[in-house]
Structure 1
Amino acid sequence: MVHFSVERRSPLPLDTAWHRITCWERHAAHVPLTAITVTTPPPTGAGTRFVARTGRGPVAFDDPMEVVRWEPPAPGRSGCCLLEKRGRVVRGWARIEVGPDGAGSRVVWEGDLRVRGVPGLFGPVVARSARLLYGRVAAGLLREAPPSAGPAPPR
């Protein structure tokens, strides 16, 4: 297993940051060649399952995950979500904590990953890649504009 950890700060309020970080389908917008499907009915909570499919055609793999701990932020308490990665290619866990940071919020995303077929010798490369990928996802989710309320007005 390879450990990774990333931290991102945002001016967003705590509850907004939590909702953006835990909107699983939106993660795909920040991961190349990836689509995410939530396979359980809403709302998100412990037991929610989703699959990230990365690649194209025969050169693709599924990364199934399950939320095993779900504690949204509350007054005086950070939010925490624990995911288990249960795929044939990628296994491990990820822990996402969203807490207050002054008037904004702070996201800490850490985990342990094992990638099938990748020897331990390449652990530092996997760890660096994970930090880059999960950092990109967190930063993208925190800065993206919220979905619009409707079509743009004509020009």
Structure 2
Amino acid sequence: MSLFRVTRRTPLPPAEVWRRLTDWPAHGAQVPLTRTRVLTPDPSGPGTRFTARTGVGPLAFDDPMEVVRWKPPGEGPDAAGVCRLRKHGRVVTGWAEFEVRAEPGGGTLVVWTEEIGVRGVPRAAGPVLGGAGRFVFGRALDGLLAHRPGRDTR
């Protein structure tokens, strides 16, 4: 298992950041050779299940996940939003959690923390796996938070 963290700041308001980060199919669009399929009727709360499939043809694997904590951002002193996912695949295991917090003066801080394991990958490869995770999820966050003319609510 490898633990890594990615932090981003954005001028977007917390509610818009939350909306973007919980658009599960949009995650697949940010990761090369990946598509995400939501498996539950209401994709917005605890119990939501989805699978990210990465690869091509027989060289692909599934990363099934379930939302186990869902607290959208709100107002007041405990206003941070938190979403935690449990990964329960045959290849990829672990968990991911992101926090969405309003910044003083405007904008939002996003902290993505993940503990990931890949079956068959030795523990000694943890630093390489963590570095790859930071890179891939950092780019995915950048894409999800990028300005999209006509779609941003600022």
Change in Cα spacing, 1:54 to 1:74, as seen in structure 2 (3 Å) is same
Supply the distance in 2 between the matched residues of 1:147 and 1:23 (Cα, whole angstroms): 17
Matches within 5 A, 1:1-155: 1-76=1-76, 77-102=79-104, 103-145=106-148
Normalising by structure 1, report the TM-score.
Answer: 0.92
**Unmatched segments (≥5 aa) in structure 1:** 149-155
* Secondary structure, counterpart of 2:60 in structure 1: strand
Supply the distance in 2 between the matched residues of 1:135 and 1:141 (Cα, whole angstroms): 10
Contact kept? 2:70, 2:82, Cα under 8 Å: yes
Change in Cα spacing, 1:146 to 1:60, as seen in structure 2 (3 Å) is farther
Residue 29 of structure 1 deviates from its aligned partner by 1.4
Residue 117 of structure 1 deviates from its aligned partner by 0.9
Q: Percent identity?
A: 53
| Partner residue, 1:151 | none
Runs of 4+ in 1 over 2 A off after TM superposition: none
**Unmatched segments (≥5 aa) in structure 2:** none
Supply the distance in 1 between the matched residues of 2:61 and 2:95 (Cα, whole angstroms): 18
Supply the distance in 2 between the matched residues of 1:34 and 1:15 (Cα, whole angstroms): 26
Amino acid at match of 1:89: V
* Secondary structure, counterpart of 1:114 in structure 2: strand
Residue 22 of structure 1 deviates from its aligned partner by 1.1
What is the aligned length? 148
* Secondary structure, counterpart of 2:134 in structure 1: helix
Amino acid at match of 1:112: E
Supply the distance in 2 between the matched residues of 1:116 and 1:15 (Cα, whole angstroms): 36
Supply the distance in 2 between the matched residues of 1:35 and 1:47 (Cα, whole angstroms): 20
After superposition, the C-alpha distances for 1:129-155 in whole angstroms (9 at most, x for unaligned) are 00111111111101141776xxxxxxx
Amino acid at match of 2:88: R
Amino acid at match of 1:134: F
Supply the distance in 2 between the matched residues of 1:49 and 1:13 (Cα, whole angstroms): 26
Amino acid at match of 2:107: G
* Secondary structure, counterpart of 2:120 in structure 1: coil
Q: Cα RMSD between the aligned structures?
A: 1.2
